[in-house]
Amino acid sequence: MEPQPTPTPGTPATTAIETVFRLESPRLIAAVTRIVRDVGIAEELAQDALVAALERWPREGVPDNPGAWLTAVARHRAVDLVRRRENYARKLQEIGRSLETTALPQEPPDPGDIDDDLLRLVFTACHPVLSAEARTALTLRLLGGLTTAEIARAFLTPEPTIAQRIVRAKRTLATRNVAFEVPYGPDREARLGSVLDVIYLIFNEGYAATAGDDWLRPGLCEDALRLARLLSGLMPTEPEVHGLTSLLEFQASRTAARTGPNGEPVLLKDQNRRRWNRMLIARGITALARADATFPKLSASSPSSRLRSDRGDPHEQGGPPSGAPGPYTLQAAIAACHALAYTYEETDWRRIATLYGLLATQTPSPVVELNRAVAVSMADGPAPALDIVDTLAAEPALRDYHLLPSVRGDLLQRLGRTEEARTEFERAASLARNERERGLLLARAEECRLPVGPPDSPHS
Amino acid sequence: MPRYLSLVKIDEKTAPAEGPSPELMQRMGELIEEITKAGVMLDTAGLTPTAQGTRVHWEGGKISVTDGPFTESKEVVGGYAIMQCKDKAEAIEWTKRFLKTHEEFWTVTCEVREIAEG
Contact B39 A234 (CB under 8 A): no
Q: What is the CATH number of domain A1-93?
A: 1.10.1740
Question: A145 pLDDT band (50/70/90 cuts)?
Answer: confident
**Measured in whole angstroms, how far is the alpha carbon of residue A452 from the centre of its chain?**
45
Q: How far apart are CA A62 and CA A13, in angstroms?
A: 9
pLDDT in tens, A168-197: 999 999 999 999 999 988 889 899 999 999
If you count them, how many residues does chain B have? Answer: 118
Inter-CA distances, A281 with A113, A365, A374, B42, Å: 32, 27, 23, 12
Which region among A75-89, A158-172, A415-429, B67-81 has the lowest average model confidence (pLDDT)? Answer: A75-89
Tell me which CATH code domain A113-206 carries: 1.10.10
**Predicted pLDDT of residue A454:** 57
For residues A220 and A154, is the Cβ–Cβ distance under 8 A? Answer: yes
Instruction: Please compute, for residue A341, the number of CA atoms within 13 A of its CA located in the half-sphere on the CB side.
Output: 18
Residue range A37-43: average pLDDT?
Answer: 93
pTM of the model as a whole: 0.83
First to last CA, chain A: 71
Question: What is the DSSP code string of A205-232?
Answer: HHHT--TTS-THHHHHHHHHHHHHHHHH
pLDDT at B84 over 50: yes
DSSP per position, A38-90: -HHHHHHHHHHHHHHHHHHHHHH---SSHHHHHHHHHHHHHHHHHHHHHHHHH
Dihedral angle, C-alpha A386, A391, A394, A399, nearest 10 °: -50
- CA–CA gap between residue A114 and residue A386 (Å, rounded): 54
Angle at A312 between CA A311 and CA A315, to 5 degrees: 125
Angle at A135 (CA atoms; ends A129, A139), nearest 5 degrees = 135
Domain residue ranges of chain B, discontinuous segments joined by +: 3-114
pLDDT at A174: 93
Q: For A289-344, write each residue's pLDDT tens digit.
A: 999 998 765 444 444 445 544 444 444 333 344 568 999 999 999 999 999 998 99
The residue type of B75 is E
User: Other CB atoms closer than 10 Å to residue A26's CB: what's the count?
Assistant: 24
| Distance (Å, whole) CA B66 – CA B71 | 12
Distance of residue A151 Cα from the nearest chain B Cα, in angstroms:
14
Say whether A223 and B90 touch across the interface (CB within 8 A): no
Identify the CA nearest to A172 among candidates A140, A202, A197, A135. A135
Interface contact A16, partner B, CB < 8 A: yes
Confidence band of B118 (pLDDT split at 50, 70, 90): low
Interchain pair B90, A279: CB under 8 A? no
Distances (CA, A) of A135 to A45, A126, A151: 21, 5, 12
Looking at the predicted structure, is the pLDDT value of residue A109 above 70?
no
Angle between the N-to-C axes of helices A403-414 and A382-391, in degrees from 0 to 180, rounded to the nearest 10:
150
What is the average pLDDT value for chain B, to the nearest integer?
A: 92
User: ω before A5 within 30° of 0 (cis)?
Assistant: no
Rg (CA), chain A: 27
The CA distance from A147 to A25, in Å, is: 12
User: CB pairs below 8 Å between A and B: how many?
Assistant: 49
Mutate to test the interface with B, among A27, A229, A274, A283 (most CBs of B within 10 A): A229
Cross-chain CB nearest to A230 (options B37, B93, B94): B37
Rounded Cα gap, residues A397 and B91, in angstroms: 46
Question: Which DSSP letter does residue A259 get?
Answer: B
The alpha-carbon gap from B57 to the nearest alpha carbon of chain A, in Å, equals: 26
Nearest CA of chain A to the CA of B106: how many Å? 18
CB contact under 8 A, B118 and A256: yes
- CATH superfamily label, B3-114: Dimeric alpha+beta barrel (3.30.70.1060)
Cα A277 from Cα B115, distance rounded (Å): 12
Residues of B with CB under 8 A from a CB of A: 1, 36-40, 42-43, 82, 84, 86-87, 89-90, 92-94, 100, 117-118
Q: Where is average pLDDT lowest: A98-107, A126-135, B107-116?
A: A98-107
Instruction: Average the pLDDT over B16-20 and give the result.
Output: 84
Specify which of A97-101, A109-113, B59-63 reaches the highest per-range mean pLDDT: B59-63
The domain locations on chain A are 1-93, 113-206, 392-460
What pLDDT digit, counting tens, does each position of B30-49 carry? 999 889 888 899 999 999 99
Please answer yes or no on whether B37 and A20 come within 8 Å at the CB atom.
Answer: no
Q: Which of A141-150, A253-262, A432-441 has the lowest mean pLDDT?
A: A432-441
Let me know how long chain A is: 460
ipTM (interface pTM):
0.77
CB contact under 8 A, B93 and A20: yes
Beta-strand relationship, B62-67 and B3-10: unpaired
**Percent of chain A having pLDDT more than 90?**
57
Q: What is the mean pLDDT of residues B6-26?
A: 90
Which whole number is the average pLDDT over A59-70? Answer: 88
Across the interface, which of A22, A222, A230 has its CB nearest the CB of B1? A222
pLDDT by residue (tens digit) across A363-380? 999 999 999 999 999 999
Please report the pLDDT score of residue A302 as a whole number: 41
Count Cβ neighbours within 10 Å for each residue of A350-378 and write b for 16 or more, e otherwise. Answer: bbbbbbbbbbbbbeeebbbbbbbbbbbbb
Sign for the pseudo-dihedral over CA of A418, A419, A420, A425: positive
Residues B83-104: what's their mean pLDDT? 94
Q: Please say if the pLDDT value at position A103 is more than 70.
A: no
User: In chain B, what residues touch A20 (CB-CB under 8 Å)?
Assistant: 93
SS3 content of chain B, % helix, strand, coil (to 5): 25, 35, 35
**Does any CB of chain B come closer than 8 Å to the CB of residue A261?**
no
